[in-house]
Amino acid sequence: MFKRWHIIPVAIIILLMIISFSRISNSQDKNPIIEENYPDNYLEEKHSYYDTEGGYQLKYPAEWSLEDHAFKQEMIRADISFGQEAGLQIRIMEITGTETAFIDGYSNTFQREMSSYWQGKIYEKNRFQGIIGKYQGHKIDLIFNRDDGENWFFREYIWFRKGKAYVFQSGTKLENKEKYLPALDDIAASMIFTD
């Protein structure tokens, strides 16, 4: 009788261990950074991306792909793209000096870098300062007419917070601007600071 009494608690412990193991293995199958959710407009399915160390989150179209670099602890945190058609790169940089100096320096550096890869003329077309999504921010539009005949549109979204610049560097071929710019603007507008 004494030995049978021990069988019941041991069976309960084994059952609890099986249930716990099942929950752990199920949670490991899920990506903790990217999750699906469905906005009010169910025709436009979106994914969410959380960069906890970077202190922000955003949403992007489900048809687009995301490559997470946040674990590398480098300036480039993620790449979001629709094949080779359009894309957005997320960068976080420490700033020194004024916000205006950072914006000017960043835009000039980007133009120089692009010109070093391809021959052509790149120029700033427009600047905007105002609300982007929920926060005060800046947009810079650039056009790059490459000598090989390709023309590109770039939009830089920039926000400042706690001594850092959050830059979403986006681009698409100029001929696809009207098709992809609304999605790029939506991604930028969905950005929320979490820290």
Task: Give the whole-angstrom CA distance, residue 113 versus residue 5.
Answer: 75
- The answer, yes or no, to whether residue 38 has pLDDT greater than 50, is no
Beta strands in the chain (DSSP E): 34-37, 46-51, 56-61, 65-68, 76-82, 86-94, 120-132, 135-146, 151-161, 164-173, 192-193
Percent of the chain with pLDDT over 90: 69
**If you classify domain 32-193 with CATH, what class do you get?**
alpha beta
Cβ proximity of 88 and 80 under 8 Å: yes
- For the segment 178-187, the average pLDDT, to the nearest whole number, is 96
pTM over 0.85: no
Provide the pLDDT for residue 72.
84
- The answer, yes or no, to whether residue 37 has pLDDT greater than 80, is no
Provide the pLDDT for residue 44.
65
40 falls in which pLDDT band (50, 70, 90)?
very low
Enumerate the domain spans of the chain.
Answer: 1-30, 32-193
Provide the pLDDT for residue 169.
96
CB atoms closer than 10 angstroms to residue 77: 23
pLDDT tens-digit series, residues 75-113: 889 999 999 999 999 999 999 899 999 999 999 999 999
Provide the pLDDT for residue 3.
52
| Cα 111 to the center of its chain, rounded Å | 22
CB atoms closer than 10 angstroms to residue 95: 16
Task: Give the whole-angstrom CA distance, residue 146 versus residue 148.
Answer: 5
